[in-house]
Structure 1
Amino acid sequence: MFRPRVLLLAEAANPEWVSVPLVGWSLVRALAGVADVHVVTQVRNRDAFLRAGLVEGVDFTAIDSEALARPLWKLGSFLSGGRGGWTIQQAVATISYPYFEHLVWKHFGADIRAGRYDLVHRVTPLSPVQQSPIAAKCRAAGVPFVLGPINGGVPWPKGFEAEMKREREWLSKVRGLYRALPGRRATLRADAILAGSRQTLRDIPAQHHARVIYLPENAIDPARFNAVAVHGGPGPMRACFIGRLVPLKGVDMLVTAAAPLLRQGRLVLEIIGDGDMMEALRAQATEFGDAVRFHGWKPHTEVQDIAARCQLLAFPSIREFGGGVVLEAMALGLAPIVVDYAGPAELVTDATGWKVPITGRDGVIAGLSDRLAWCVDHPEQVAAKGHAARARVQELFTWERKAAQILQIYNWVLTPGLPKPDPFGQD
């Protein structure tokens, strides 16, 4: 089988971290199973790559762009008040990331021009705000450039302005200005653009849609998510939340919505994670005693063990680009309840879970309350959706499956006349 030679740009890729770096790492390792890849990452990831057994100079190259990246990251942290505000960090990265690609070209430009790679693929950053100066250089060298998955651009939903203020996401109001950044047009002329969400796809100008493929960025490793949720056991139904305890995640709304069931002893909430809302949430849940359990941060294996004792994932995040935790819970056989907005809503179908309309705080709380009560009264249907959720993840959302989907895209880019891949169709 043909194995293309691919230079993977993964500025953020780290097996020991979470969120985007873990997505980057997982995807580049999966692609190594279907292509001959060389990974280019930022020097901050070097030691983790080595600990994972990769050989520097053979499997990967670490680019030291810290002269610009570190002070800009500190600036972003300062502007976001230490919260790590996504929009602010992406804004400062619009300066540092092009410098990273500048150094990549200095190191690999001659090899690219000499045809030692069949294509160049930028895996991370995931944000569409970050432009790729290297795209035009690859085009001039006659080497295809693949972009993505890219994901972002989800507006703050109406009715949650207070949460936006508390998250210090004031810059999101002018986020659309990134469309005027130098290099955007050249970046969007990539030979293939992988859009991680329908929102991102809609944000890409129509003239480029012939080269855009919908492909959510998240997936799971079956070896890491190998437990199976227990449905139909004794005792009350259990629902878990997994994530940061911050305003946009909506855990306070979840506790309010679940209150009647918690008082009646018909539901237990397992809250896994930590954040600056922990103290307030503990105070809110005092009256419910052991019906609300705060576990704090836990290693992956412990998270899985706690989640597998549940039947539901209750995840009322109001602004989530990807929603990887939803897939992880589905992989365990939990039926998810999510807010019908952005990433999680695209991962959950009618057969696998429920979506609560996003109609302001009161509307979300009422929707969550109704759905939780229905689930407690219908455990058999919860079990059926949990089983369907697990099957859907195994079919479409493993990293091995993701690599096979991207290999199809590589073949399409490299072979004129092939039909455009459509891994998810009208799903």
Structure 2
Amino acid sequence: MKVLISAYACEPEKGSEPGVGWNTVTHVAEHHQLWVLTRANNRPSIELALKSNPLPTVTFVYYDLPKWSVWWKRGGSGIQVYYYLWQIGIMPLARRLQQEIGFDLVHHVTFVRYWNPCFLALLPVPLLWGPVGGGESTPGDFHNGFSLRGRTMEAGRNMARWLGERDPFVRMTAAKSRLSLATTPQTAACLDRIGCKNYEVMSQCALNLEEMNLLWSDRPVLAQGERVIFLSLGNLLHWKGVHLALSALKQSGLRNVEFLIVGSGPERGRLEELTQRFGLTGMVVFCGRLSRREALQKIKSCHVLVHPSLHDSGSFVCLESMAAGKPVICLNHGGPSSIVTPETGIKIVPTDELQTIKDLAKAMVCLTKNNALRERMGQHARSRVIKEFTWERKAEQFHQHYLAVTQTSS
């Protein structure tokens, strides 16, 4: 099957969106012939990787907007404008490719928010849209715990979603997509609201075998009396919920523990202030931004991941921690909720902020004091990743969706 893939973010040896793009391409290429539209600044890393691992069934097609438009990429909102314009810019190229090749299917893979359109839907080819995210919202009264910047960002996000749902090109994408894949039930409800007729829930997250083996090798064994190490890993943004984890650590009364915070972002200063105010400076370590390899090493060295994110569509860090045999403490909300099970971690129902902090503290105490439970959850966590979240399995799922979509259109 000849497939045109839109993968704005697509780079080897990366996590998150770039990793989704690269791994989707490299694994789906085992089943189909692919043409991949991606950014020109991804070209050096892609061509370097292809020297050692060629992909004979893949043709990368690079495009970037003119240099004068680069300033749009500054800041979170600016990059969304840049991406919108990038999608418009690739259309003449996509139409030319369609005339020359005649694709059987278009698959839009990365930077997929349900309120952003896919202009490739204008091609006379069946569209597989997603996995699509972004339908998750901050629950309850949690906005009260945000900084002023955080509350402003949340208001901006809500406005962007409201406007996006009314964008005629978003509605066009929803109507034309033969199948839409939603990362969570919350996003599926949003897809239904904007006019998608056929959609399924499917996580965007998976790991390749090399990463899984790296995370499992040389696992540390907790010696008697040794500190339990909690880890939070990700951009330090208001909605990542690290302030909830710090409040829970204070309330837990735990002392013989360490809490590593890996990442950088605009909330770091506020989190450092909370650490000092709560008297946690001896337990909390801010590690800053690390390379992917260094971050994976931190996951290997910890004992529990604490990830109380308030509106994640996916959460690769949960998957990576589970692959390393670490139980996860998260909220029963959004993407992490569909990855973590009661056998692999502790999910907190986010009723309100105070109760959630209490429940997070109880979970931290439980997994600190119960070594057997922590080990058992870790074993179940790794087994779940191996069974459900490999890129090989994800590629097979995409393959089946491709067949279903093209058979429906014929």
Would you say same fold, with TM above 0.5? yes
1:127·1:152 contact (CA, 8 Å) conserved in 2? Answer: yes
1:217 aligns with 2:199: no
| Structure 1 residues 355 and 17: alpha-carbon distance in aligned structure 2, compared to 1, 3 A threshold | same
Unaligned runs of 5+ in 2: none
Amino acid at match of 2:143: E
Indicate the residue corresponding to 1:405 in structure 2: 397
Match of 2:156 in 1: 171
Give the structure 2 partner of residue 147 of structure 1. 129
1:99 to 88, 95, 108: 88
In 2 relative to 1, CA 102–161 (structure 1 residues): closer, same or farther, beyond 3 Å? Answer: same
Mapped to 2, the partners of 1:315 and 1:358 lie a distance apart of 13
Match of 1:26 among 23, 37, 58: 23
Q: Which moved more, 1:123-132 or 1:391-400?
A: 123-132
Q: Deviations over 1:226-259 (max 9, x none)?
A: 2334465431322211112232222222122113
Alignment partner, residue 133 of structure 1: 119
Asked if the contact 2:177–2:196 (Cα under 8 Å) also holds between the matched residues in 1, the reply is no
> Structure 1 residue 332: deviation in Å?
0.7
Cα displacement (A) at 1:122: 1.3
Deviation at 1:394, TM superposition (A): 1.0
Q: Distance in 2 between matches of 1:134 and 1:227?
A: 37
* Alignment partners' CA distance in 2, 1:405 and 1:339: 27
CA distance in 2 between partners of 1:98 and 1:417 (Å): 24
Aligned to 1:298: 290
Instruction: Look up the SS of the partner of 2:163 in the other structure.
Output: helix
1:188-224 superposed Cα distances (whole Å, 9 cap, x missing partner):
2212211122111111227966631221111112312
Answer yes or no: is the 8 Å Cα contact 2:314–2:335 preserved in 1.
yes
| 1:68 to 1:134, Cα distance in 2 relative to 1, 3 A | farther
- Equivalent of 2:7, from 1, 6, 10? 10
| Distance (Å, rounded) in 1 between the aligned partners of 2:262 and 2:186 | 29
Q: In structure 2, what is the equivalent of residue 424 of structure 1?
A: none
CA drift at 1:44: 2.3
Return the match for 1:394 from 355, 379, 386: 386
Report deviation, 1:329: 0.8
The superposition leaves residues 101-145 of structure 1 with CA deviations (integer Å, 9 ceiling, x where unpaired) of 423334313125xx3x2212111231122212321322xxxx322
Query: 2:401 & 2:46 partners in 1: Cα distance?
Result: 26
Distance 1:264 1:122 in 2: 48
- What letter matches 1:301 in structure 2? R
Percent identity (aligned): 26
Q: Is the 8 A contact 1:263 1:288 kept in 2?
A: no
Asked whether the 8 Å contact 1:69–1:96 carries over to 2, the reply is no
Deviation at residue 325 of structure 1 after TM alignment: 1.0
- CA change 1:340–1:416 in 2 (3 A) is closer
2:346 maps to amino acid: W
Q: Which residue of 1 is the match for residue 138 of structure 2?
A: 156
Is this contact kept in 1: 2:95–2:123, CA < 8 A? no
2:239 match: 248
Structure 2 vs 1, CA of residues 292 and 411 (structure 1 numbering), >3 Å: closer, same or farther? Answer: same
Which residue pairs with 2:180 in the alignment? Answer: 193
Counterparts of 1:146 and 1:164, CA distance in 2 = 38
Aligned mates of 1:39, 1:385 — CA distance in 2 = 39
What is the CA-CA distance between 1:24 and the residue it aligns to?
Answer: 1.6
| TM-aligned CA distance change 1:120 to 1:95, over 3 Å | closer
- Residue aligning to 1:51: 48
TM-score, with structure 1 as normaliser: 0.84
Distance 1:326 1:42, change over 3 A: same
CA distance in 2, matches of 1:335, 1:119: 39
> Residue deviations 1:370-404, cap 9 Å, x none?
11112223221121111111111111111121111
Output the CA distance in 1 between the equivalents of 2:274 and 2:236. 13
1:237 to 1:202, Cα distance in 2 relative to 1, 3 A? same
Partner secondary structure for residue 210 of structure 2: coil
Q: Say how many residue pairs are matched.
A: 396
Structure 1 residues not aligned, in runs of 5+: 78-83, 419-427
* Residue range with higher mean Cα deviation, 284-293 or 374-383: 284-293
Q: Residue 373 of structure 2 aligns with which residue? A: 381
Matching of residue 320 in structure 1 with residue 312 in structure 2 = yes
Alignment partners' CA distance in 2, 1:288 and 1:164: 20
Cα distance, 1:295 vs. partner? 2.0
For residues 85 and 196 of structure 2, the distance between their equivalents in structure 1, rounded to whole angstroms, comes to 28
- Please report the RMSD computed on the Cα atoms of aligned residues, expressed in angstroms: 2.8
- Per the alignment, in what secondary structure is the counterpart of residue 341 of structure 2? coil
Residues 145 and 247 of structure 1, relative CA distance in 2, 3 Å threshold: closer
Matched, 1:270 2:260: yes
Contact 1:149 1:216 in 2 (8 A): yes
Give a deviation string over 1:309-348, Cα, whole Å, max 9, x none: 2221111122222111111111111100002221111211
2: CA distance, partners of 1:331 / 1:66? 41
